[in-house]
Amino acid sequence: MHNLGFALEGAWKVLLAGVLLGAGLPILFALGVRALAYGAGGDAEPGAPGRAARPIGTAAGYLLFGIVVLGVLLGIAFIVAGGFGKTLSFQHVYPAIVDK
pLDDT-based confidence at residue 13 (cuts at 50, 70, 90):
confident
Element containing residue 87 per DSSP (H, E): strand 86-92
pLDDT at 60: 97
pLDDT at 59: 96
How confident is the model over 27-62, as pLDDT tens digits? 999 999 999 988 887 776 666 667 788 899 999 999
How confident is the model over 59-88, as pLDDT tens digits? 999 999 999 999 899 889 989 999 999 998
Nearest to 64 by CA among 18, 41, 23, 33: 33
Task: Using DSSP, state whether 49 is helix, strand or coil.
Answer: coil
pLDDT at 19: 82
CA pair distance 22, 33, nearest whole angstrom: 18
pLDDT at 84: 92
CA pair distance 60, 55, nearest whole angstrom: 9
CA pair distance 31, 11, nearest whole angstrom: 28
